[in-house]
Amino acid sequence: MDSAVSELLGGLPAEEEQLQVWQTDRSRAPIATKIVVAGGFGVGKTTLVSAVSEIQPLQTEALMTQASEETDDLTATPGKTTTTVAMDFGRITLDDDLVLYLFGTPGQQRFWFMWDDLVRGAIGAVVLADTRRLPDCFPALDYFESCGLPYVVAVNHFDGSERFEPEDVREALTVPPHVPVLVMDARRRISVIETLLALVGHALEATPE
């Protein structure tokens, strides 16, 4: 742009309009990665994404009605009034150069057909588990094992439930030794960040250069 025109428009003088070195150095651009958060119905996927997202998380919650009473067991989460019907979406910058885009899956079986689309391009997945209903996370474990996507198992510890050691959960779920198993709290940002860091580390180890 002509410098006089630039100044008239209130812009910077031409020489200051030049891009800075760091703006053009592609090696310094943040790496954007996609992470999937999966697990059984009501295990805390939406809670996890909301707890950690630095942007207003996108949610697709629908009110639960009597119509789903027979399929959706609320014994473990009596305070739950909504369920995810498409996906959750959030973003977290873990470091200057690492941005994670979080995609929460819907937990109910009738929405599982969406998983194939949600996992496309992901570098890894967090499989949330609740020790009071461990079998609920088997479909997610089977899914990521069969498609070869690196994953970590994150036990979302609910208040009042018995606390188990990660190695006990590993044994109960027959999770392979190289897969990290952590006990965390989906409501606590720090706890979620620790889980995401474990996943990124594991994905880097598991994925060939």
Ligand X SMILES: Nc1nc2c(ncn2[C@@H]2O[C@H](COP(=O)(O)OP(=O)(O)OP(=O)(O)O)[C@@H](O)[C@H]2O)c(=O)[nH]1
Binding region for ligand X (CB under 6 A): 41-47, 77, 79-80, 83-84, 106-108, 156, 158-159, 185-187
**At closest approach, how far in Å is the CB of 46 from ligand X?**
3
Interaction residues for Mg ion, span 35-54 (CB under 5 A):
45-46
What are all long-range contacts of 95-100, with beta carbons under 8 Å and residues at least 24 apart? 96/30, 97/28, 97/29, 97/30, 97/31, 98/30, 98/31, 98/33, 98/200, 99/30, 99/31, 99/32, 99/33, 100/33, 100/34, 100/35, 100/196, 100/200
- Between residues 47 and 195, which has the closer beta carbon with respect to ligand X? 47
**At closest approach, how far in Å is the CB of 107 from ligand X?**
2
Partner interacting with residue 158 (select from Mg ion, ligand X, none; CB below 5-8 Å by kind): ligand X
Q: Are 114 and 46 in contact (CB under 8 A)?
A: no
- In sign, the C-alpha dihedral spanning 82, 183, 173, 51 is positive
73-112 footprint of Mg ion as x/- string (CB under 5 A) = -----------x----------------------------
Number of residue whose CB is nearest ligand X: 107
Q: Are 153 and 180 in contact (CB under 8 A)?
A: yes
Partner interacting with residue 159 (select from Mg ion, ligand X, none; CB below 5-8 Å by kind): ligand X
Residues that bind Mg ion (CB under 5 A): 45-46, 84
